[in-house]
Amino acid sequence: GPMMGQANVFFRYWPEKIQPVIDRYQGESRRLFTVLDRRLGEAEWMAGDYSIADIANWCWVR
């Protein structure tokens, strides 16, 4: 969540484009989605059973 929020702010709303900052947050967002995708490829839910972790992350992955 926070990495995607930062990526969005610097990409869409920051008055000047600071490409290294944009690249950092977009790259970290991609990395975290890769981790999440790998986990959900192994298990139905993020933390074993359905939990608040799945609820909290749904809005980012839907």
Q: How confident is the prediction along the chain (62 residues), in pLDDT tens digits per residue? A: 789 999 999 999 999 999 999 999 999 999 999 999 999 999 999 999 999 999 998 887 77
- pLDDT for res 2: 86
Bridge partners (DSSP) of residue 49 are 47
Q: Does domain 2-61 have CATH number 3.40.350.10?
A: no
Domain range summary for the chain, segments of one domain joined by +: 2-61
Neighbouring residues of 3: CB distance < 8 A, sequence distance ≥ 6: 25, 28, 29, 32
